Amino acid sequence: MRGLLRGRRPGLWLAVAVLAVLVLAAVVPGLFSGQDPLAVDSAQTLRPPSAAHLLGTDENGRDVLARIVHGTRTSLLLGFGAIAIALAFGGLLGLAAGLGNKIIENVIMRLSDIGLAFPELLLALVVITVAGGGTANAVLAIGVANIPSYARLVRAQTLAVRSSSYVEAAHALGLPGPRVVLRHVLPNAVKPVLILATIGVGTALVAGSALSFLGLGTPPPEPEWGSMLSTARNFISRAWWYGVFPGAAITLTVISVTVVGRALRLRSEGRTW
């Protein structure tokens, strides 16, 4: 990371700073807001930003800043958790397809083709409809929807690494197959995919917010950026702050993750930012 941030890259520095603040807000939300995100105050409904409520209040008098801060953990969980699931299962399937025989490869790839035939959000909607709503099921649904993509990516990387000279040399030296896979194939096949997955976190976060917006993700009154947007649309004409700030949080997070992911990809390719 030190090498990544070396030089004049104000956009990258800003993106890393934003992500650091978001992680801190997810771990210690009290640092940014001391108010209860679930506390209802009927005398303070839909109040504009003020000294008492920096980002205003919602239709129940709840502090918007507190709800955004406390919703950071759930929103980040939707993004990072879903990609972790996709990487774990997609990675295993991709390795099996890249290292297995033709039958195994064909079965896994045909199943991946079926999954890729549907838009990821549509596939996530199908999964969450079957599994039921809620944060955990939203993470699972988005993760499952992304498995085919990562299975294909890992398979392609595995095939490329498998035919490389250093892997062939390891086999020629008589190293056991499992040792070659764990020491040479797996690290070199997964590393490029991990970098691409960083960018994928932003897409997964948007998908999670979309599910919550549709009422299939985090249930109210728990704070989550997508569900806040869903409720705010009913008051957008008289409470602009209610929808603008959660939307800005989503946008800023996605841009920051994408900037960092792009910088990592360029560095892995030997190019500068």
- 22-44 per-position pLDDT tens digit: 999 999 999 999 999 999 999 99
3-state SS, residue 63: strand
Tell me what pLDDT residue 90 has.
95
Given a cut of 70, the residues of the chain with pLDDT beneath it are 1-8, 168, 171, 177, 269-273
Instruction: Report DSSP state, residue 51.
Output: S
For 261, other C-beta atoms within 10 Å of its C-beta total 20
The residues facing 57 across adjacent strands are 63
Q: Can you tell me which residue has the tokens 């949080």?
A: 249
Cα 133–chain centre separation: 18
pLDDT at 52: 93
Decide: 65 and 53 in contact? Cβ < 8 Å: yes
Superfamily (CATH) of domain 17-28+54-268: MetI-like (1.10.3720.10)
Q: Where are the domains of the chain?
A: 17-28+54-268
Q: What separation in angstroms does the CA of 111 have from each of 84, 93, 94, 147?
A: 20, 10, 12, 10
- Distances from the Cα of 152 to the Cα of 85, 146, 171, 172, 193, angstroms: 15, 10, 25, 28, 10
For the chain, how many residues are written?
A: 273
Is 78:136 a contact under the CB 8 Å cutoff?
Answer: no
**Model pTM?**
0.87
The confidence score (pLDDT) of residue 122 equals 92
Q: How many Å apart are CA 167 and CA 169, to the nearest integer?
A: 5
CB distance 268 to 192 below 8 Å: yes
CB–CB of 167/233 below 8 Å? no
The CA distance from 152 to 178, in Å, is 22
Longest dimension (CA), the chain: 77
